[in-house]
Amino acid sequence: MMSSLASFWVWALTINLIIMLLYIIGTWTHKHFSKKNVPCLKPLPVFGNMGPLAFGTKSFPEFIADVYNKLKGHKYGGFYEFLKPVVVLRDPELIKMVTIKDFEHFLDHRNLITEDSEPLFGKALFNLQGPRWRHMRSTLSPAFTSSKMKNMFTLVSECGDQMGDFLHRCINDKTMKIESCKIQRADRRLEIEMKDLFTRYTNDVITTTALGIGCDSLKNPQNEFYTMGKKITTMGTLQRLVFLGYSLSPKLMKALKLRFISDKLSDYFRSLIQKTMDTRENKGIIRPDMIHLLMQAKKGTLKNEEDDDANGTPSIKPKLEDDDIISQAFIFFFAGFETVSTLMCFASHLLAVHPDIQTRLQKEIDQTLQENDGKVTYESVHSMKYLDMVLSETLRLYPPAVFMDRKCVKTYTLPTEPSYTLQPGEGIWIPVHGIHHDPEYFPDPEKFDPERFSDENKDKIKPFTYLPFGSGPRNCIGNRFALMESKIVLVHMLSRFNFKVVSRTPIPIKITRRGLNITVDGGFWLGLEERI
Task: Give the model confidence (pLDDT) of 95-138 as tens digits.
Answer: 999 999 999 999 999 877 777 777 788 889 988 999 999 988 98
**Residue 4, pLDDT score:** 65
Q: 437: number of CA atoms within 13 Å, CB side?
A: 20
**Residue 253, pLDDT score:** 72
Is 1's pLDDT higher than 70?
A: no
**Residue 306, pLDDT score:** 45
| High-pLDDT (> 90) share of the chain, % | 55
Is 318's pLDDT higher than 80?
A: no
Residue 59 backbone class (left: φ over 0; alpha: ψ -120 to 50; beta: rest): beta
Residue 455: Cβ within 10 Å count: 8
**Residue 298, pLDDT score:** 78
The confidence band for 325, taking pLDDT boundaries of 50, 70 and 90, is confident
**First vs last C-alpha separation in the chain:** 91
Taking the C-alpha atoms of residue 165 and residue 498, their distance in angstroms, rounded to an integer, is 15
Mean predicted confidence (pLDDT) in 423-447? 97
The confidence band for 365, taking pLDDT boundaries of 50, 70 and 90, is very high
**Residue 308, pLDDT score:** 44
The confidence band for 301, taking pLDDT boundaries of 50, 70 and 90, is confident
Taking the C-alpha atoms of residue 38 and residue 41, their distance in angstroms, rounded to an integer, is 10
Task: Give the model confidence (pLDDT) of 183-221 as tens digits.
Answer: 888 778 899 999 999 999 999 998 888 777 778 888 888
The lowest-confidence range among 15-29, 275-289, 333-347, 444-458 is 15-29
**Residue 214, pLDDT score:** 76
Domain residues of the chain, as ranges?
33-530
Give the residue among 328, 290, 468, 479 at the shortest CA–CA distance from 393: 468
Radius of gyration of the chain (CA): 25
Long-range contacts of 18-27 (CB under 8 A, 24+ apart): 22/46, 26/83
**Residue 476 marked ligand-binding:** yes
**Residue 310, pLDDT score:** 43
**Residue 313, pLDDT score:** 45
CA distances from 389 to 71, 156, 256, 492 (A): 30, 21, 47, 17
Taking the C-alpha atoms of residue 132 and residue 134, their distance in angstroms, rounded to an integer, is 5
Taking the C-alpha atoms of residue 92 and residue 416, their distance in angstroms, rounded to an integer, is 12
**Residue 500, pLDDT score:** 97
**Residue 398, pLDDT score:** 96
Q: To 10 degrees, what angle do helices 322-335 and 130-140 make?
A: 70
**Residue 333, pLDDT score:** 82
The confidence band for 12, taking pLDDT boundaries of 50, 70 and 90, is low
Taking the C-alpha atoms of residue 473 and residue 462, their distance in angstroms, rounded to an integer, is 20
The confidence band for 10, taking pLDDT boundaries of 50, 70 and 90, is low
**Residue 5, pLDDT score:** 61
Return the bridge partners of 79, or none.
Answer: 86
Mean predicted confidence (pLDDT) in 298-303? 72
CA distances from 451 to 94, 383, 384, 441, 495 (A): 28, 17, 14, 14, 22
**Residue 11, pLDDT score:** 64
Please provide the average confidence, as pLDDT, over all residues in the chain. Answer: 87
Mean predicted confidence (pLDDT) in 138-156? 87
The lowest-confidence range among 166-180, 225-239, 474-488 is 225-239
Is 461's pLDDT higher than 70?
A: yes
Q: What size, in residues, is the chain?
A: 532
Residue 77 backbone class (left: φ over 0; alpha: ψ -120 to 50; beta: rest): beta
Give the residue among 192, 156, 466 at the shortest CA–CA distance from 349: 192
Handedness of CA 334, 340, 344, 347 (dihedral sign): positive
**Residue 307, pLDDT score:** 46
Mean predicted confidence (pLDDT) in 47-51? 91
- For the structural domain made of 33-530, what CATH number should be given? 1.10.630.10
Task: Give the model confidence (pLDDT) of 30-39 as tens digits.
Answer: 999 999 999 9
**Residue 140, pLDDT score:** 86
**Residue 422, pLDDT score:** 97
Helix, strand, or coil (residue 43): coil
Strands 84-89 and 525-530: unpaired
Is 235's pLDDT higher than 70?
A: no
Mean predicted confidence (pLDDT) in 333-362? 93
